[in-house]
A = this chain, B = another copy of it.
Amino acid sequence: MITVEEVKKALEGVMHPETDRSLVELGMIKEIRVDNEQVRFTVLLPFMDAPIKDDIVSKARAAVENLPEVKKVAVKLAEMTQKERAHFISAQEKRAGLAQQFNRIEQVIAVMSGKGGVGKSLVAGLLAMALKREGYKVGLLDADITGPSIPKMFFSTLKRPKNSPMGILPVESGKGIKVMSINLLLPHEDDAVIWRGPLISTAIKQFWNDVFWGDLDYLIVDLPPGTADASLTVMQSLPLSGVILVTSPQELAGMVVRKAAQMVQHMGAPMLGLVENMSYAICPNCGEPIEVFGPSKAVATAARLGIPLLGQLPLDPLISTLCDAGRIEEYESEVMEGIARIIGGETTDEG
Contacts and interface: CB of A to CB of B under 8 A. Distances in A.
A146 B189 contact: no
Contacts of A240: none
Interface in A176-227: 189-198, 200, 224-227
Q: How many copies does the complex hold?
A: 2
A288 interface: yes
A165 interface: no
Interface in A250-280: 250-253, 255-256, 258-260, 262-263, 266-267
Contacts of A255: 152, 189-190
A193 B262 CA distance: 9
Nearest to A150: B252
Interface stretch (A15-23, A320-328, A337-345): A320-328
A229 B227 contact: no
A117 B117 contact: yes
Contacts of A324: 250-252, 294
- Which of A145, A147, A197 has the most chain B CB atoms inside 10 A of its CB? A147
Chain A interface main SS type: loop
Interface in A132-191: 144-149, 152-153, 189-191
Interface in A275-319: 281, 283-286, 288, 290-294, 315, 317
A129 interface: no
A234 to B, nearest CB: 12
A97 interface: no
Q: State the 3 A-B residue pairs at the shortest beta-carbon distance, nearest first.
A: A116-B116, A117-B117, A197-B197
9 contacts: A115-B117, A116-B147, A117-B117, A147-B259, A191-B262, A195-B227, A283-B290, A286-B288, A290-B317
Given A116-B117, A192-B266, A200-B228, 5 more contacts: A116-B147, A193-B227, A194-B266, A196-B198, A197-B228
